[in-house]
Structure 1
Amino acid sequence: MNESTGSAPRPTAEGIADTLRTRILGGDLKPGERLPTQASLAREFGVERGTVRNALQLLRSDGLLANPGKGSPPTVSRPKQQSLAGAQMARSILGPRLVAAFEAPHVYVDVASLTGETLVTALGEPLAKVYEGRLRPESVQVRMVVPRPGGTVDYPAPAAGWGADDKLDRAVKQRGLIQWASQRMVLDNAFKGLRDHGIDASFEFRFVSGVPTRKVYLLNRQEALVGHYIPGRFEREIDDYEGADKVELVDVEGFKTEMFPFARSNGRDQAAFVDGEQAMFDGLWEHVARRQD
């Protein structure tokens, strides 16, 4: 709620994209069906049309919308063959699966990743349904393992390597600290919101040294979403660094990481894989990751 007006905050482009994505993946919007006009969506969500345009662009980048004709709303794309059964980008796959996980009376989510960015975005879908009264778990427990922010890591890192530019080194490390602080604040507020709705909700994070080569989400000890980070060179904006130009970093694109789902209900092999991933996380949590100093 907006404290000054008492009204709910306006949805962001990411939030609108998440809602439309759920409608598409859930079958409410079918392949070949046109979306409502931008004006209709703007009225539905109570936002400017520019916000709707940005949301639709996010869905196009996910491959969920076909390019519209001139002056016509976009249509839902026909399903494309996946590189592996059900593989999707992290931004697309996590939200709907968190919604399904929140249907259980006791929700357990374990995360091992580079940052909390994807989790922060994906939580918007189940939280909205909790606030609307459509989901009502008794408890939610999230454990998260991330690299300690502000360190000298393989990525994100200056493209020329650490030590080539001391000022850039400091700016890149500070960027990591600021991003984590922002994500932590959003997560803290999200779980306060759950507790305010009478749900026994807890969020705990621990740090590891180095950087992960994979991102892993474990849902209710029944499902594993696993993706491999692909390092590359990217132009990034760096605060507190001279000049207005972007800086080249060795980094990954977490939102676009292709995630592969495995479920214990899908046979012996997948059950064994999920159990192995859960055992890996439990060992990492208990014996390697460290609490905040």
Structure 2
Amino acid sequence: MTSERSPGDGTPRQTMVALGPRISAAFGAADVRIDALCLTAELLSAALGEQRTLIHTRRSMPATITVRVLLPNRDIDLAFPRMISAPEEPDPVHRRWLAQRNAHGIVLSDHLRGLGAVHGIDVDIQFKALPFTPPVKLYLLNGTEALFAYYQVTEREEQIGRESVAMYDALGGGRVAALLVRRGRRPRPRVRDAVADLVRRTLDNHRDRPRALLTVGRCVDAP
């Protein structure tokens, strides 16, 4: 259960859920669509990797899978992760984030393309570059459920190469809050105008402007 009704006004309460089971539920639809806004796509890639393992147990499979992921542009000045002190040389924290973003994007693409090739599913994947650091990770599943979690920024040190680097980093975790948009019918205005439509507008506002980041099998970064 992802939403509970508050007494009196019908407003859904947020509840904490794991992303994997919600994506599994979304894959029960004939046409699967996932819109995401995140920092590296690590959690989404892991959740879709589970579907590649579990899909053979389903009685029916999706006919189409459409995934659109918005990630920060490679060259922006990230709010996090970043070094606490201004680096004199190229920032190792930024280089590490970029490598992680690219790697998770390629793995995510491989998971979905693998599903399409093995099971005959029509797969459409788009990666887009954002001009800002997202303060939250947001997922919209089949246009009916919005899931989100704020990144928690903390100071910490990590060994990068031979250097111990002090940085501001984000802790995402594996659980997100869920808000139900509708249950097979037109959404209530109160729900429609809440988090789910904010997610949708954020994604739609950047549909045409960002440049593509990834293609199948290789990474093409936006300049």
Shorter chain as denominator, the TM-score bin is 0.7 to 0.9
* TM-score, normalised relative to structure 2: 0.79
Say whether residues 1:87 and 2:87 are aligned partners: no
Say whether residues 1:143 and 2:68 are aligned partners: yes
- Out of 111, 131, 138, the position equivalent to 1:209 is 131
Identity of aligned residues (%): 28
Residue by residue over 1:247-282, the C-alpha shift from the partner in whole angstroms, topping out at 9 and shown as x without a partner, is 2210101225x5221112376222332234213321
Aligned pairs, number: 197
Counterparts in 2 of 1:240-279, with a 5 A limit?
A: 242-243=162-163, 246-255=164-173, 259-265=176-182, 268=188, 269-273=190-194, 274-279=196-201
Residue by residue over 1:183-241, the C-alpha shift from the partner in whole angstroms, topping out at 9 and shown as x without a partner, is 122112112211111000121101012201111100001110122122111223323xx
Say whether residues 1:171 and 2:92 are aligned partners: yes
Q: 1:150 to 1:237 in 2, by over 3 A?
A: farther
Counterparts in 2 of 1:3-152, with a 5 A limit?
A: 85-88=14-17, 93-149=18-74, 151-152=76-77
Q: Is the 8 A contact 2:26 2:32 kept in 1?
A: yes
Say whether residues 1:180 and 2:101 are aligned partners: yes
- Out of 237, 250, 256, the position equivalent to 2:159 is 237
Shift of 1:126: 2.2
Residue by residue over 1:34-67, the C-alpha shift from the partner in whole angstroms, topping out at 9 and shown as x without a partner, is xxxxxxxxxxxxxxxxxxxxxxxxxxxxxxxxxx
Gap runs ≥5 in structure 2: 2-12, 214-221
Gap runs ≥5 in structure 1: 1-24, 26-83
Structure 1 CA distance for aligned equivalents of residues 205 and 79 of structure 2 = 24
* TM-score, normalised relative to structure 1: 0.61
Amino acid corresponding to residue 181 of structure 2 in structure 1: R
Q: Is the 8 A contact 1:154 1:211 kept in 2?
A: yes
Structure 2 CA distance for aligned equivalents of residues 231 and 270 of structure 1 = 29
Bigger helix share = 1
Q: Is the 8 A contact 2:48 2:112 kept in 1?
A: no
Structure 1 CA distance for aligned equivalents of residues 154 and 54 of structure 2 = 37
Q: Is the 8 A contact 1:108 1:141 kept in 2?
A: yes
Which secondary structure does the structure 1 equivalent of 2:91 belong to? helix
> Aligned-residue CA RMSD in angstroms?
2.2
Amino acid corresponding to residue 182 of structure 2 in structure 1: S
Q: 1:231 to 1:185 in 2, by over 3 A?
A: same
Larger radius of gyration: 1
Which secondary structure does the structure 1 equivalent of 2:160 belong to? coil
Structure 2 CA distance for aligned equivalents of residues 170 and 157 of structure 1 = 8
Bigger strand share = 2
Amino acid corresponding to residue 16 of structure 2 in structure 1: A
